Structure formats: C-alpha cells, structure tokens
Chain A
C-alpha cells in the first residue's frame, strides 16, 4: 500500500517520517523533476506500507518547484506516485492555517489520516482543541494525536494504518480543487475554505492565553540590528573553525590510510596495468572523494542543528534585505554557506527558493564560494610564494592571503549575482513569505539523518563523476602516442642511473619523464601558449588539466611532475623542488606573480565536472552549466592574467 505523507512545513512531518521508517529510507527523485523523494517502509501486522514523504506545503497549489510534485502526484490518478491513502501531519498549535491544506487533501476522496502533531506546543501556547468537533468536521478521516518530537503517538499512527477505510463521498467544501494555473479559481476556493474554517474554529479550538513570549524575547536579540549580525558572524566563525581546524584530523587519517592502501595493493598485487589502474586510478580516486566527507559532514551538522532549532529562518530574515540588491533571496544563505564545503549539496539546497530567478542566480554563483577542494591548492601555493611573516607583529601574512582568497570568491559571487540580476529577465516578482517556527531543541535523530543524506548525496552524485574522471585522467597520464612514453622512460632510466641516483629517485624521474610524454603531458604542452600570459609553464598546464575533475588533484599531479614523494599536508619536498624550478632564461617559474595568479585562477575556474552535472540536472538544460563554465573560465583567465601583470 502506497501512502503519501503530507503537511505544512514546520509541522514535524519529517520527524514523523523518520520515526515511522527509521533508517529504512530510500531517496530518489520524483519523475521528471529534481525534487528529492524519500520513501520508507513500514511493517505492521505483516502488512507492508510504502510511505512517500512529500515536500511540505501550505496548500495543494504549488508555489515553488518543490511543491509542484504534491499537486501533480495527488491530482492525477495516472501519476506513478498517486497514493492509495494519505497521512496529513497537522500542527495542533496552528489549526486554522493547517486545516486549509487538510481540507483540500480531504476533498481528494482518498482514504485519509490526520496526525494532530505538536500537541505539547499547543499546550504551551495555551490552545486547546476539541477532538470530537474536528472528527465531526471530517467524518471520514482517521484522527490521531501525536507528539513526534517526544516520540509519542507513533504506535497510534501504526495501528491506525490498519484502519484506513474507503471514502463515501463526504466533502468539506463543494468547490472543486482548481487547475494549477487557474489563479482566480484558486482564490475563490481558498477564501471559501478559510471562511468555513473561521466560522467553525471557535467550536474546535479554545485559546486560553495569547503570545509566545519566550520566542519573542529571543527574537529581539537574534534579529537585533547589532546583536543579530554579531551573533550570526560569531556562529560563522565557529563553523569555519570546525571546518578548517577540526576536520583536518580525520582528513589526514583518511589521506594516509588511502595512500597506505595504495602502497599495500601495489606491493601485494602482481605488476601490471590492472594493478596500476587500481593503485593509481581507482584507489586515489575514491580517496579523493572520501577525504571531503569530514568537512561536509561537519558543515551540515551545523546547518542541520541551526535549522532544527529554528534559528536558520531568523538568518534568512535578517539577511534577506542585505542580499536582495544582489538579486538573491534570504534563503540563498544556506546554499551559499553549504558551498563553502561543497557546491553540490549547496546547489541542491537552492530548491527551497520559491522564485525562479533568485534560485537561478544562487545556483550560478554558488561555485564561486571557495569549496574545500580548493584548500589543498591554496595551502600549497601560499606556502610556496607567500613569506611566513607576521604583519604588525600578530597577523600572519599567509593567513591573510588565505582570507583574501575566500573574500575574493565571496565578493565575486555577489558581483556576478548583480550582473545576472540585470541579465536574467523575468516577469514574476520574487517573494519571501517565510514562517518563523518557534525555537526548539534539535532532535539528534533528525540532525543525523540530514547529515547522512547530504554526505550520501556528495559521495553518490559527486563521487561517481570524480571517480570516472580520475580513471580517464589516469589513462591519459599512463599512455602516450606510440612508443614515445616508454622510449623517454627508458632513456631517463639509463640517464639517471648513470648519474648515480638511488633507485627510488630514478623511479621518480622516470615517472616524471613518462608523464611529460603521456597524452596529458602533450595536452599540457599544447596549452602552454594559452596559459603563458598568466605566468604558467606546461607543467602547470598538465596539472590544470589533471585537476579538472577535482581541484585538489593539482597537488598530487604536481608531485608526480616534479618527481617527488607526495607526503601529504606539508608538501615540503614538493615546495623545495618548485622553488628551484627555473625558466630557460634562468628566472624562477614560481614567483609571487605566477603563484598568486595561480591562486586567483583557482578561485574562479569551474574545475569541477561534478558541479556542472548537478547544475545541469537542477536546471534541466545544458545552457546554464555551459554559461557557468564559460563565465567562470573568463573570470579565471582574466583575473589570473591581470594579477600576473600587476605583480610582475
């Protein structure tokens, strides 16, 4: 039996879903749209129920992309998601508004259950409802009281599942549900429903006392012109502290375990192409995905907690006016913040922005926020060309440059947003209309499920593309036209052996020479004239191409080219080698100018296939990802070129 789980936002719908289905959830997409579809299984008395979690909506009429699926699935009995029965979660502390949607759902003539949730909150707001009167209004509905946050009422919902009964034609309102584009009829219908609800409300709800004074007091601080922003800044500070400082511990661990795994496999498997593919292509490819999990998990842990407590909607509230001149919505804050870890979950979370234009702009600029994959590149280049000095005795120059790179990304995101705001034409006006939920303690279960989902999205969506490209790049780096590679390799072998180098060193030089003569090496050399104005040579060119799948590959690729052991975070031997690298005229390759130019290039360039794929899926056309790659490429090239000219 297929059951649709519906309800207004902030009614505790997902808590109900999580409690009913536990971790037995499967996430897919609604057909034709990119809206996430969560399906869970419930077993009661040997009967299996399939519970589909629909996006929260205030009415059956959609206002954002997310909400369209509710109308399309429920108002069309040919839809694959057309349910056999529906459960609507209703916020007992706000019956009037919640009953609008319930009454619409009731009139669909499907077997229906009302879960009267948040009964505790209703009590706190001194509201009492009359269950008998509600039952009289909806005689054919099952009504169950619950307080899902405290885990109460779940057993009642489960037993009620067995009692779903067929409908006999009772309706709340005779007006039929309007067509999705018939706004006039929707108005009439909505108004008529509310009139009826308002007229019966006094009989079903008694309000003893008004005002939720605690929330109100807290709000006065959290949206205060000074304190509000100060608190938000402080929270951001803590968040970045976690991402940068604490995430590095598990990340180092993952890094070293994957390289030992590669080493172990390389020594235990028989020599050959297949082993090389595993140890140099697949294992590092998977490692390159897994390494970002700690940062992504930590960031979403924070965001989920902020969301669960209700604070996030206050952030939207105070930021909306500030970001509106940039064509963004207060709701763009979450996508942009998430993009600091990874643009992929960030872009996907832009779905909650109801306005198409504001959503598009958010998606288009999100990858300019410096993501975690850029950190290894920044770290290497900063250590290479920025002196480790203190400014004014206490500000680290290197830290300042890193901060500058993040700021450059953020400000250019805002700048691009303004340009896009002028370029994208639309008749519709954006809107906010946001419910500010009461503050509550986050439920650990909900938080963990959110973190798990985001990590899963990253590993699955980004991971498979990063892995696929890693393998392609491995092929390009392992093979070259004809015998060119092996000949060059053999020559190097003889040459460096004669010079008396140790076996390990000879191997490193051979690897370097082979890479130079591989397909990717040839590609790097081919683009040298194009990248020369920015101060780069073909070795950098190879690494630029190699890091197209994932930016951090730049570091590993450089290590191979310079024939040094990749020793993880510190990169000491690599930095020494790069420092001594000279051009044919004897001038060093890596100067302040070329180094900073390369940093600027990485701030802007869309070096991430996985992001492009997600943008394509979210916007349902190749147009947007191509524009995005184009404008970011132009920014990267011009930015790096100008930087190089100014600094040299």
Chain B
C-alpha cells in the first residue's frame, strides 16, 4: 500500500515509489530520493515541523509539504 512519506512514523522504514510532479521534483531527486530508494524516518521537529530521514546513510530534513510529495511503501519491520 502506498502512502505519503509524511504519514510514516518515526523509526519506520519505507521505500520510495514515486515523487509527485512539481517544481521540487528534481531537487528531491538530487537529494537521493529516487524510486526504489530505501529510507528511514528518524525523528521530527516539534510542533509538526520538518522531519529527518535517513537516505542511504545521510540525514535529510524535509518540511511536511515536501514530504507530502513523496509516495512511499512501508517496509515491514524485521523486529
């Protein structure tokens, strides 16, 4: 089931399915967010501020609006 990245909880891992068409698409791709990429949500800033995600070993922070553009598939936790 695909969902938007901003709905993924801290600590969960997901795989990028698609990035919505927008002026930011190229920029998001340049940061390494491309189809099939595995990422993990690390933590969020207070007051529903930006979220920090691990993208292949580096930490990227995105505003909620930006995370809303990214469709992901949740990867079940291997406990």
Category for how many chain A residues contact B? 35 or more
CB-CB under 8 A from A309, the residues of chain B are none
Contact between B57 and A100, CB atoms less than 8 A apart: no
The answer to whether B73 has its CB under 8 Å from any CB of chain A is: no
CB-CB under 8 A from A223, the residues of chain B are 43-46, 52
Beyond A317-B45, A318-B45, A330-B50, is A207–B57 a contact (Cβ under 8 Å)?
Answer: yes
Which A residues between 143 and 187 are near B, CB-CB below 8 angstroms? 183, 186-187
Contact between A435 and B50, CB atoms less than 8 A apart: no
CB-CB under 8 A from A434, the residues of chain B are 50, 60-61
CB-CB under 8 A from A321, the residues of chain B are 45-50
Q: Identify A432's interface contact among B46, B48, B58, B61, CB under 8 A.
A: B61
The answer to whether A499 has its CB under 8 Å from any CB of chain B is: no
Chain A's nearest CB lies how many Å from the CB of B70?
A: 11
Q: Identify A433's interface contact among B28, B34, B48, CB under 8 A.
A: B28
Contact between B50 and A212, CB atoms less than 8 A apart: no
How far apart sit A646 and B15, CA to CA, in the bound complex (Å)?
A: 62
CB-CB under 8 A from A313, the residues of chain B are 61
CB-CB under 8 A from B62, the residues of chain A are 432-433
Q: Identify B58's interface contact among A94, A186, A433, CB under 8 A.
A: A94
Contact between A186 and B57, CB atoms less than 8 A apart: no
How far apart sit A223 and B42, CA to CA, in the bound complex (Å)?
A: 11
Q: For chain B, what secondary structure do more than half of its interface residues adopt (helix, strand, loop), or is it mixed?
A: mixed
The answer to whether A326 has its CB under 8 Å from any CB of chain B is: no
CB-CB under 8 A from B47, the residues of chain A are 225, 321-322
| Per-residue contact bits, chain A 409-451, to B (CB 8 Å; 1 contact, 0 not) | 0000000000000000000110111111110000000000000
How far apart sit A223 and B10, CA to CA, in the bound complex (Å)?
A: 13
Contact between A317 and B29, CB atoms less than 8 A apart: no
Contact between A61 and B26, CB atoms less than 8 A apart: yes
Beyond A127-B57, A183-B23, is A191–B32 a contact (Cβ under 8 Å)?
Answer: no
Contact between B45 and A320, CB atoms less than 8 A apart: yes
How far apart sit A210 and B56, CA to CA, in the bound complex (Å)?
A: 9
The answer to whether A215 has its CB under 8 Å from any CB of chain B is: yes
Contact between A190 and B30, CB atoms less than 8 A apart: yes
CB-CB under 8 A from B58, the residues of chain A are 93-94, 97, 435
Chain B's nearest CB lies how many Å from the CB of A579?
A: 48
Beyond A219-B42, A321-B46, is A97–B32 a contact (Cβ under 8 Å)?
Answer: yes
CB-CB under 8 A from A428, the residues of chain B are 23
Chain A's nearest CB lies how many Å from the CB of B68?
A: 11
- Select from chain B the residue with minimum beta-carbon distance to A122: B57
The answer to whether B78 has its CB under 8 Å from any CB of chain A is: no
CB-CB under 8 A from A97, the residues of chain B are 30-32, 55-56, 58
How far apart sit A413 and B54, CA to CA, in the bound complex (Å)?
A: 35
| Per-residue contact bits, chain A 205-225, to B (CB 8 Å; 1 contact, 0 not) | 001001110011001100111
Q: Identify A431's interface contact among B27, B54, B56, B60, CB under 8 A.
A: B27
The answer to whether A125 has its CB under 8 Å from any CB of chain B is: yes
Chain A's nearest CB lies how many Å from the CB of B35?
A: 8
CB-CB under 8 A from B24, the residues of chain A are 429, 431, 433
- 9 pairs across A/B with beta carbons < 8 Å? A97-B30, A97-B58, A194-B29, A194-B34, A207-B57, A321-B50, A330-B50, A433-B61, A436-B59
Q: Which residues of A pack against B, CB within 8 Å? A: 58-59, 61, 63, 93-94, 96-97, 100, 125, 127, 183, 186-187, 190-191, 194-195, 198, 207, 210-212, 215-216, 219-220, 223-225, 228-229, 313, 316-318, 320-322, 330, 428-429, 431-438
The 9 A-B residue pairs with the shortest CB-CB distance, nearest first, are: A321-B49, A225-B46, A436-B59, A59-B30, A97-B32, A58-B30, A194-B34, A432-B63, A186-B26
Q: Which residues of B pack against A, CB within 8 Å? A: 23-32, 34, 36, 42-50, 52, 54-63, 65-66
